[in-house]
Structure 1
Amino acid sequence: MTGMTSSSRPLLNRRLAEFGTTIFAEMSALALSTGSINLGQGFPDTDGPEEVREAAVRALRDGRGNQYPPGPGVPELRAAVAAHQERRYGLSYDPDTEVLVTAGATEAIAAALLALVEPGDEVIALEPYYDSYAACIAMAGGTRVPVTLRPHDGAFRLDLDELRAAVTDRTRLLLLNTPHNPTGTVLTRAELAAIAELAVERDLLVVTDEVYEHLVFDDAEHIPLASFPGMRERTVTISSAGKTYSFTGWKVGWVTASPALVTAVRSAKQYLTYVSAGPFQYAVAEALSLPDSYFAEFRADMLAKRNILAGGLEEAGFTVYRPAGTYFITADIRPLGETDGIAFCRTLPERAGVVAIPTAVFYDHRDQGAPFVRFAFCKQAHVLEEAATRLKTLSV
């Protein structure tokens, strides 16, 4: 029969068998079919700075990046990334040997895990985790070991004793995300220092996803793990332009690490996309040199939006965990008489005309995430206000 195979073996690689269509695709389709406000997927509904967009247009017209750019990334962007790390954090990287440009942070994560993890290696990840982490660990043949962030005093916190206990002789790598999606937790200096000590003591590699580095609120501070003693030579730091400049479709990310680690990651990355986003790389190079006022205004704008949505969710009856970073809010549905976040999110568009993401899909321990849902607030203020108004109908 057409399209059939005589083999009884499933078509999909067994390592990926547990990963179906992403929850983002399902919920975005629901948003379209119901005409709901989509606070599920984390993309802004307005573009970033006009001067950055014009820089991309200029690069296109000038023929810069229209053909294959250099494998490691265009020199201008690698230099800009190195200058950014030096200016913001006092971390010095050689643009030629310690910076690698990738197709967004997602490819950087995939390339790092494919390069550094072998079958049988254990990878510790903080759950709930961004969904590509689990898939990339699986593709590398590694074993995922979750350490759960648990709600405590209005935030999701890491239990350092639990983290230490998760390390075994088979642990190869820690996969960290701070500021943390989806919980909005920002690891503190003390927590990061303890993680650094553990990594040095147990000789672990660390991959840190820092794409929300410029989105921290209130008294939170983003501190790269690579800046701690003993960590520069064992840490792959990942960031990207999408979240900071609101051009998520450009898919420009980067890795900073020691020459040996960058060489390893590049060895995998070159067989994934090889290169990408040529003209956009030149534009992001200019974006990275925007004045501090841009980042301050960006944070202030997102903070105001956080407060609009958080206030609306609280009025609707949710327990709200106001994030210290990122542009996501986690809310507990139990005060509404609900316990199943997946079922709640599937019916929310019809009930209130709003789409959210059930946090349980980001957990191995589904029961731990069952009552939590995630809302994105990277939308225009009037959209968030309308969403808040619609959500209030849940408590009527």
Structure 2
Amino acid sequence: MSEYLTPKAREIKPSGIRKFFDLASGRKDIITLGVGEPDFVTPWHVREACVYSLEMGKTQYTSNAGMPELREEIGLYLHKNFDVAYDPGKEILVTVGGSEAIDLALRALITAGDEILIPEPCYISYSPITALSGGVPVGVETFAKDNFKLKAETLKAAITPRSKVLVLCYPSNPTGGTMTYEDWLPIAKIVEENDLIVISDEIYAELSYGSKHVSFASVPGMKDRTILVSGFSKAFAMTGWRMGYACGHEDLIGAMLKIHQFTVMCAPVMGQVAALEALRNGLEEKDRMVESYNQRRRLVVSGFREIGLECHEPQGAFYAFPSIKSTGLSSDEFATRLLNEHSVAAVPGDVFGLGGEGYLRCSYATSVNQLTEAIERMGNFVRKLKGE
């Protein structure tokens, strides 16, 4: 039956992350550092708000753009915390996770053949979604020596007359890299000079350590050029609720809304109720979870360095990205043997694009005991490799 599929559907590769989940599936001895998901359960009062709304029979469609009160609360939250202001009635769209928001943005913007600039290593979905939408993904490599920041000279070198969109993800999945206001200024200049539109995936914005997250949309002149994407999955421990949002110029959001209403109609009402409760009454729990991630961050970085793996210090998200180049193995070989021989699942860096080979993505969104045991097992593996 594959002959009925479009060439794009046939050619797209399965998730490189999913491969390692499948290999580890059913094995109780496995310690998993591969899942980009909080180990916390959604706070009880958030779940309770959802349950109560169901008991009260709140099961109907909402506005296509999302509940007005939720959009209002999102607008207040972004203005207070990240210094960006949006009109809830025209510039905010509630989506089925941040992933839908990214998909909608790319589908609304891409004309066949447009080049989409994607700093890499990066979240694995950007390039496939770009290709499925008819665009051409163009990787822009970032480097450990720069703490995986996007550098202006590298971005400028990748631009051609067909460049249209720049996709950003800071704090970064998989590297944990972040960008400061000063880092953004030369990037913003290039964006303006080359008339680019920016999709800024800020799903890890709240998970910033040491300094406050700076939204690209807050840089002077960039708000109207930027579609800010975020959601509740990471900072609020709500991955399974699939609640995200996009904010931007009303013309851009309006186009995305049209696609959204013909594909999913609206985000699930029960998830919207939960998201509203999280914003109104869940900020203290969010802060406690972020502090816990910060403690684990310090543990894993020092642990990797102690066992002989170089590791830049991630300033955001909940991933460490240690280098395994000193072992002589490729990322895939290292991850496969680590799983099979020492029962630790992590994701090989090469699945995240340019600059990922020679690295391993390790999520520290798991318990301290599990992290400590995983580092010990990895240390045994590294010592074994050096003895081979």
Q: Normalising to structure 2: TM-score of the pair?
A: 0.94
Task: Evaluate the alpha carbon distance shift between residue 231 and residue 157 of structure 1 in structure 2; reply closer, same or farther with a 3 A threshold.
Answer: closer
> Which residue is equivalent to 1:37?
31
| Alpha-carbon contact 2:176-2:318 (below 8 Å) kept | yes
Pair 1:375-2:362 in alignment: yes
Structure 1 unmatched runs, 5+: none
Give how far 1:333 is off.
0.8
> Which residue is equivalent to 2:342?
352
| Alpha-carbon contact 2:36-2:365 (below 8 Å) kept | yes
Q: SS state of the match for residue 144, structure 2?
A: strand
Percent of aligned pairs sharing the same letter = 32
Pair 1:184-2:171 in alignment: no
| Alpha-carbon contact 2:236-2:286 (below 8 Å) kept | no
Q: SS state of the match for residue 157, structure 1?
A: coil
Give how far 1:308 is off.
2.2
| Alpha-carbon contact 1:121-1:172 (below 8 Å) kept | yes
Q: Normalising to structure 1: TM-score of the pair?
A: 0.92
The one-letter amino acid of 1:23's match is: G
Q: Distance in 2 between matches of 1:351 and 1:60?
A: 47
Give how far 1:18 is off.
3.9
> Which residue is equivalent to 1:332?
323
Q: Distance in 2 between matches of 1:272 and 1:179?
A: 29
Pair 1:54-2:48 in alignment: yes
Pair 1:361-2:354 in alignment: no
The partner residue of 1:254 within 245, 258, 261 is 245
Q: Which whole-Å deviations, capped at 9, do the CAs of 1:240-295 have from their partners, x for residues lacking one?
A: 10001111001000011111111011122223322232111111112113375444
> Which residue is equivalent to 2:302?
311
Q: Distance in 1 between matches of 2:312 and 2:4?
A: 41
The one-letter amino acid of 2:48's match is: E
Q: Which whole-Å deviations, capped at 9, do the CAs of 1:287-316 have from their partners, x for residues lacking one?
A: 113375444322211101112222332233
Q: Distance in 2 between matches of 1:20 and 1:395?
A: 30
Structure 2 unmatched runs, 5+: 384-388
| Alpha-carbon contact 2:92-2:245 (below 8 Å) kept | yes
Q: Distance in 2 between matches of 1:373 and 1:270?
A: 39
The partner residue of 2:200 within 180, 199, 208 is 208
Pair 1:342-2:342 in alignment: no
Runs (4+) of structure 1 exceeding 4 A deviation are none
The partner residue of 1:386 within 364, 373, 377 is 373
| Alpha-carbon contact 2:233-2:239 (below 8 Å) kept | yes
> Which residue is equivalent to 1:68?
61
Pair 1:162-2:149 in alignment: no
Q: SS state of the match for residue 303, structure 2?
A: helix
- Root-mean-square deviation (CA, aligned residues, Å) is 1.7
| Alpha-carbon contact 2:130-2:136 (below 8 Å) kept | yes
Count residues with an aligned counterpart: 382
> Which residue is equivalent to 2:276?
285
Q: Distance in 2 between matches of 1:281 and 1:274?
A: 14
| Alpha-carbon contact 1:330-1:372 (below 8 Å) kept | yes
Q: SS state of the match for residue 288, structure 1?
A: helix
| Alpha-carbon contact 1:116-1:265 (below 8 Å) kept | no
Q: SS state of the match for residue 101, structure 1?
A: strand
| Alpha-carbon contact 1:16-1:135 (below 8 Å) kept | no
Pair 1:231-2:222 in alignment: yes
The partner residue of 2:18 within 25, 31, 40 is 25
